[in-house]
A and B are shown apart, each in its own frame.
Chain A
Amino acid sequence: MVDLALIWAGLIAFSVFAYVVLDGFDLGIGILFPLFKGRDRDVAMNSIAPVWDGNETWLVLGGGGLMAVFPVVYATVLPALYAPLIAMLLALIFRGVAFEFRWRTKRGRSWWDAGFFGGSLIASFMQGIALGALVQGIVIEDRAYAGGWWDWLTPFSLLTGVALATGYALLGSTWLVMKTTGNLRDIAQKVARLSALGMLTLIGAVSLWTPFLNPIYLERWFKWPTMLFSGIVPVLVLACFWWLWRSLSAQRDTAPFLAALGLFALSFTGLGISFFPYIVPGALTIQEAAAPPESLGFLLAGAVVLVPIILIYTAYAYWVFRGKVDPEEGYH
């Protein structure tokens, strides 16, 4: 018997991860925007202009998919995170329109650049807060959110907010190391080192804090035999960080970005280890929250065909715009 709910949990996790790393690097570029001046800003933005829209589509798949296959999660987690999610949506508006608007006005350009920076920063911070609030656990009674309106705001969620924004800055800066040359690349290189150190510290802080939020996490991470398995992840994090540091020192183009992706993949795996078999920690398991098999099967039939096709043409779109960004290019 195929476990549809488990497959879907995996697919949702995949699309959330795809969103985090893909929109992560273009949100990161937004966060770093004030560090660049004049022409460098144009180049930084042009390096993501053809792909940001596809990157953000994974967020829609995460949301829409959750409603389809885990409707009760969609119906409880979203109200629980009402304020940070609304703030994220509004922030995404400012940064999304900036891609076009900043080319349409000379006088107003600095305003839309500010919107691009502020929108990217707030969206990233809010996503981190949402993650932290979810890890902390939310109160669900009778298939509805039963907590208060400020439950999401805690020192822990603020920490995860800062951590995610820092991680996005790392992704963005290593992306620019890969895609650009000259002065812009030099700045990105420096930022990559700083944000890598910051991210390592913050991953450490979040990881040490998490087990004390919920006894399940403590058991998962510090009890035999799962400890053996979960002990591997921190070791790999350190290895990845070492690779990132070395490749930056060696002036490599692509390796730093791949190493940054590795750090995200490992952090994500760590979350998976903490969560499983829950989808909302302590409140709903994957099996409890799943939609009826009729819904899961119907969408899965399409997803197994369509997701590979999507990955192929997304890869094609990236391939079309491969290599370093030509500062003279762009239709504006």
Chain B
Amino acid sequence: MFEGFDALMLARAQFAFTVSFHIIFPAFSIGLASYLAVLEGLWLIRRDPVYMAIFDYWKKVFALSFGMGVVSGIVMSYQFGTNWAEFSDKAGPVIGPLMGYEVLTAFFLEAGFLGVMLFGLNRVGPKLHFTATVMVAVGTLISATWILAVNSWMQTPQGHVINEVGQFIPQDWWAIIFSPSFPYRLVHMVLAAYLTTAFVVGAVGAFHLLRKRGGRPARIMFSMAMWMAAIVAPIQIFAGDLHGLNTFEHQPAKVAAMEGHYETHEDGAPLILFGLPDDEAEETRFALEIPKLGSLILTHHLDGEVKGLKAFPKEDRPPAEIVFWSFRIMVGLGFLMLFIGAWSLFRRFGPGDLYSDKWLHRAAVLMGPSGFIAVLAGWVTTEVGRQPFTVYGLMRTAESASPIEAPAVGASLLAFVIVYFLVFGAGVFYMLRLMRKPPDTPDTEEDKVPTRAAGLTPAQAVEATSAGGNHG
């Protein structure tokens, strides 16, 4: 088995597969951790038990997602060494310390306080518990910062020299961490994580509203999610545009592939809306294009020059067939998110009602997974778009792999595929099952058990939640 395969292609497939599965969980956990911190903060400030009910609801989902993020992340931290040994030896002195800082400043912080957050409310009291929740949320953001510094250095490397054995030797850490694409990439990814979470929360709220249950918690979830969509989606589109301009400056071949340009347009490039890029024939067939708009977006001039893929040696080009489409999927979903946000504002301030517009709810349910798809499409765009390099312009993917033979890589790839689909498939199923259950509504409990719920303060609610928290 696997005799006819190329070890490098198998190693790339394995990395792509494991990292794609992995990114789903942090993309969701980053946003959800912040959301949980906000909910607990609102509970402490407003002393309204409804926020604790929503917190408890999402806490269980978070625990599942975080656990899957951890175990799929450990795989990543070893896979550089097992499958990309050349890359690790050469780039390790630069990216290794950054990942070391990620572990020291983020992973320990998250893991250390996660236990307190999940299990410790009635042991430490609400204030310390809130601190733990905030620490977990801050940890997820610090983690994103370091790992995106690593990725950005690989995309736009600077601040290093190369020694006699070919290793990248750090010279200026500030330049390495703040490489040209880093600020854009970080903002774009964190906003993506927030939008991903917002659309999941919004979909769950809408689902329960459609089924006429879930009461106040479902309405609050939906409303908060729609605020996020309305505010963050336009910011994200703006940030994405800036990120694109930054890529145009530093990785013009990637932009050419995203735009489907093979020819260089010296006096104004069109914007190709759709078409079929063909790397063999070096042309985009059936292109539906708007003249000059491509240059206007990328250079802010109607006649600005946009380099095509033919301006780069054939062995240095990314595959446009993939990047062109993944980019369009991401952008298309971004605009759909913007549309949902605008629709919610229209219902909030215009005619009708946010909580009774069935079509808005249906659309929100449909958009539930949109964040994940957009995140994956975005990463495919940026990672396939920087091929054929691991360290852009300096180290080729083909020179980065371990000397491991195809049968070994093929067998491990097969094992990863089976285990990931089995385990994470089950995990996603359990998450969906949790989301299908409506959140507890403290309002109705209040009618049933007036003694316990009378004048609920956080301290009393602790007792209430711990008493009611043992149903598995």
Complex A-B: 18 CB contacts under 8 Å: A54-B115, A57-B108, A65-B100, A79-B83, A79-B85, A89-B74, A90-B416, A100-B64, A104-B430, A143-B89, A291-B92, A294-B170, A295-B92, A302-B100, A306-B108, A321-B115, A321-B120, A331-B59
Q: Which residue from chain B places its CB closest to the CB of A61 in the assembled complex?
A: B103
Taking a contact as CB atoms under 8 Å apart, the answer to whether A298 and B173 are in contact is yes
Question: Which segment, of A70-78, A156-164, A200-208, A254-262, faces chain B?
Answer: A70-78
Q: CA–CA, A102 to B8, complex, Å?
A: 38
Q: CA–CA, A175 to B404, complex, Å?
A: 40
Q: B113 — which chain A residues lie within 8 A by C-beta?
A: 313, 317
Is A211 an interface residue, CB under 8 A from the partner? no
Taking a contact as CB atoms under 8 Å apart, the answer to whether B104 and A145 are in contact is no
Taking a contact as CB atoms under 8 Å apart, the answer to whether A104 and B433 are in contact is yes
Q: B86 — which chain A residues lie within 8 A by C-beta?
A: 75, 144
Contacts A67-B96, A299-B100 given; indicate if A60 touches B73 (C-beta within 8 A): yes
Q: CA–CA, A60 to B86, complex, Å?
A: 20
Is A3 an interface residue, CB under 8 A from the partner? no
Residue-wise, chain B 93-130 has the 8 Å CB interface mask toward A (1 for contact) of 11111011111110111111111101110011000000
Taking a contact as CB atoms under 8 Å apart, the answer to whether B169 and A64 are in contact is no
Q: A149 — which chain B residues lie within 8 A by C-beta?
A: 404-405, 408
Q: B70 — which chain A residues lie within 8 A by C-beta?
A: 53, 56, 96
Contacts A292-B169, A294-B171, A317-B113 given; indicate if A96 touches B67 (C-beta within 8 A): yes
Residue from A74, A96, A306 within 8 A of B81 (CB atoms): A74
Q: B100 — which chain A residues lie within 8 A by C-beta?
A: 61, 64-65, 67-69, 299, 302-303
Q: A321 — which chain B residues lie within 8 A by C-beta?
A: 115, 119-120, 123
Taking a contact as CB atoms under 8 Å apart, the answer to whether A63 and B115 are in contact is no
* Chain A interface residues toward B at CB < 8 A: 49-51, 53-54, 56-57, 59-61, 63-69, 71-72, 74-79, 82-83, 85-86, 89-90, 92-94, 96-97, 99-101, 103-105, 108, 143-146, 149, 291-292, 294-295, 298-299, 302-303, 306-307, 310, 313-314, 316-317, 320-321, 328-332
Residue-wise, chain B 150-182 has the 8 Å CB interface mask toward A (1 for contact) of 000000000000010101011101000000000
Is B457 an interface residue, CB under 8 A from the partner? no
Q: A93 — which chain B residues lie within 8 A by C-beta?
A: 71-72, 75, 419, 423
Q: Which residue from chain B places its CB closest to the CB of A291 in the assembled complex?
A: B93
Q: CA–CA, A56 to B74, complex, Å?
A: 9
Q: CA–CA, A92 to B77, complex, Å?
A: 13
* Chain B interface residues toward A at CB < 8 A: 59-60, 63-64, 67-68, 70-75, 77-78, 80-83, 85-86, 88-90, 92-97, 99-105, 107-116, 118-120, 123-124, 163, 165, 167, 169-171, 173, 402-405, 408, 412, 415-416, 419, 423, 426-427, 430, 433-434, 469-470, 472
Taking a contact as CB atoms under 8 Å apart, the answer to whether B92 and A74 are in contact is yes
Taking a contact as CB atoms under 8 Å apart, the answer to whether B77 and A63 are in contact is yes
Q: A56 — which chain B residues lie within 8 A by C-beta?
A: 70, 74, 111
Taking a contact as CB atoms under 8 Å apart, the answer to whether A67 and B412 are in contact is no
Q: A303 — which chain B residues lie within 8 A by C-beta?
A: 100, 104
Residue from B89, B92, B169, B433 within 8 A of A294 (CB atoms): B169
Q: CA–CA, A72 to B87, complex, Å?
A: 10
Q: A83 — which chain B residues lie within 8 A by C-beta?
A: 408, 412
| Distance of A280 from chain B, by nearest CB (Å) | 13
Q: Which residue from chain B places its CB closest to the CB of A108 in the assembled complex?
A: B426
Contacts A79-B82, A97-B427, A317-B116 given; indicate if A68 touches B163 (C-beta within 8 A): no
Q: A299 — which chain B residues lie within 8 A by C-beta?
A: 96-97, 100-101
Taking a contact as CB atoms under 8 Å apart, the answer to whether B472 and A332 are in contact is yes
Residue from A74, A82, A96, A332 within 8 A of B71 (CB atoms): A96
Contacts A78-B81, A317-B115 given; indicate if A101 touches B427 (C-beta within 8 A): yes
| Distance of A300 from chain B, by nearest CB (Å) | 9
Taking a contact as CB atoms under 8 Å apart, the answer to whether B427 and A78 are in contact is no
7 closest Cβ contacts across the A-B interface?
A71-B92, A50-B115, A68-B96, A78-B81, A75-B89, A96-B71, A54-B111
Q: CA–CA, A320 to B112, complex, Å?
A: 11
Q: CA–CA, A144 to B100, complex, Å?
A: 23
Taking a contact as CB atoms under 8 Å apart, the answer to whether A79 and B81 are in contact is yes
Q: A61 — which chain B residues lie within 8 A by C-beta?
A: 100, 103-104, 107-108
Residue from B68, B72, B88, B110 within 8 A of A75 (CB atoms): B88
Q: Which residue from chain A places its CB closest to the CB of B83 in the assembled complex?
A: A79
Taking a contact as CB atoms under 8 Å apart, the answer to whether B96 and A64 are in contact is yes
Taking a contact as CB atoms under 8 Å apart, the answer to whether B82 and A86 are in contact is yes
Q: CA–CA, A144 to B166, complex, Å?
A: 13
Q: B116 — which chain A residues lie within 8 A by C-beta?
A: 50, 317, 320
Question: 5 additional contacts, CB 8 Å, given A64-B103, A67-B92?
Answer: A71-B167, A78-B81, A79-B82, A292-B170, A302-B101
Contacts A97-B423, A99-B67 given; indicate if A49 touches B103 (C-beta within 8 A): no
Q: CA–CA, A248 to B101, complex, Å?
A: 41
Q: CA–CA, A96 to B70, complex, Å?
A: 8
Taking a contact as CB atoms under 8 Å apart, the answer to whether B63 and A314 are in contact is no
Q: CA–CA, A56 to B108, complex, Å?
A: 10
| Distance of A100 from chain B, by nearest CB (Å) | 5
Q: CA–CA, A315 to B102, complex, Å?
A: 20
Taking a contact as CB atoms under 8 Å apart, the answer to whether B85 and A145 are in contact is yes
Q: Which residue from chain B places its CB closest to the CB of A42 in the assembled complex?
A: B472
Q: CA–CA, A289 to B75, complex, Å?
A: 24
| Distance of A187 from chain B, by nearest CB (Å) | 23
Residue from A60, A82, A302, A330 within 8 A of B107 (CB atoms): A60
Taking a contact as CB atoms under 8 Å apart, the answer to whether A302 and B104 are in contact is yes
Q: Which residue from chain A places its CB closest to the CB of B89 in the assembled complex?
A: A75
| Distance of A68 from chain B, by nearest CB (Å) | 3
| Distance of A320 from chain B, by nearest CB (Å) | 5
Q: Which residue from chain A places its CB closest to the CB of B123 in the assembled complex?
A: A320
Q: CA–CA, A63 to B115, complex, Å?
A: 23
Q: CA–CA, A104 to B415, complex, Å?
A: 25
| Distance of B421 from chain A, by nearest CB (Å) | 12
Contacts A63-B78, A76-B85, A82-B408 given; indicate if A295 touches B93 (C-beta within 8 A): yes
